Structure 1
């Protein structure tokens, strides 16, 4: 297993290897006032976890763009390392898809759930299964793992480093140029756009997203807006 000393994170980011859940650890550190830029991570034979602490300077509704941003950073990182035939897509609510099947997901938590408030901290983290959860993967054809999709050559420590680099690059682009480029890249990766979906108890056609990545869901004559803040996990 790699230690923090072995992993190279870009400037402004630093790593803490944990033996517990990386997302929970990052949230606890954020709650206690750690600086932004902490990357908590856990690498085992069966799972890769990474979580990044942000200190947003914009209201939560805008800061939630960090969820799709981290997802695009992940796709960029894995897309370079995986064989060319491996397709990586993203669910609106943080799910990761590899070759169409669910393969882990992103989670998010913030110091506030008020979309208009600037949060003290925001944590975005992912869990990626490396090997199948059971000996009978045929029982769950809609669930997969990284190595089951032909990515056995992908080294988890290198994937984590690349995710951090690509994510930081996207943060800089987002801060300098706004969200137009992020919207364009994310739209090309999001699963089920134009399809019938169910989200937050509502069913309809997933038309797209608004400026802050809120889901536009058309149900008959009505178009509902589901803010991205609705998928935040409650802070302790």
Structure 2
């Protein structure tokens, strides 16, 4: 039986069993009006999945900062538990890369898709493969799992707890200092700035982000903004 994780003050955990998706459960709880800080989780032998419910007090486009906040929280959490040679990076849209290969992702959904509206809730989910389950693990060299990257000694329950703690630290920094504090760390974890990307129906050079973490893409002589809220998934 998996040990129940312990969460910091202001957060409370709720486990789901079997193959149940904690992100979907968090969306349902959020729609019913659960408290912000609820962490729904499902730790299995082959993967760690979790989701945090937020109760924003700012417009959606500002509240989307929780996606990079949770990303930095995860990078800090894994960095504290993994061997020092393990490199953890993030993609603009929420992907997680370990030693250069895709290793899970962060995702988000909210009660509204209007960037100017204050959402009733925002949910950020995390999914990280622990073991590769494909019959031929080497068939996708661009994808990996945590235990294949020197992290076999990382306890997924401890990783979940650490993610919650580090994310809470960054939430507090964001609340006190604004986006700039998060931006300075997060942008250093996004490896493909300056490269050609395709996002939001546009293809061009990824120049960086604006003050709300929107992607700036240069197409020829023009620069276009792709708001971070465009990565939101459909809510319930």
TM-score by length of 1: 0.97
> Which residue in the other structure is 1:10 paired with?
8
Contact 1:91 1:97 survives alignment (8 Å): yes
> Which residue in the other structure is 1:202 paired with?
202
Shift of 1:137: 1.7
- Cα separation, 2, equivalents of 1:176 and 1:222: 35
> Which residue in the other structure is 1:212 paired with?
212
> Which residue in the other structure is 1:148 paired with?
148
> Which residue in the other structure is 1:51 paired with?
51
In structure 1, stretches of 5+ residues that fail to align are: none
SS at match of 1:204: strand
Shift of 1:181: 1.4
Deviations 1:74-121 (A, max 9, x none): 000000111111100000000000001001101100000000000000
In structure 2, stretches of 5+ residues that fail to align are: none
What aligned pairs does 1:43-82 form with structure 2 within 5 A after superposition? Answer: 43-82=43-82
> Which residue in the other structure is 2:232 paired with?
232
- Cα separation, 2, equivalents of 1:7 and 1:82: 18
> Which residue in the other structure is 2:131 paired with?
131
Shift of 1:234: 1.2
- Cα separation, 1, equivalents of 2:227 and 2:200: 10
Contact 1:92 1:191 survives alignment (8 Å): no
TM-score by length of 2: 0.97
Shift of 1:133: 2.6
> Which residue in the other structure is 1:92 paired with?
92
- Cα separation, 2, equivalents of 1:180 and 1:202: 26
- Aligned CA-pair RMSD: 0.9
SS at match of 1:208: strand
Deviates more, 1:200-209 or 1:116-125: 200-209
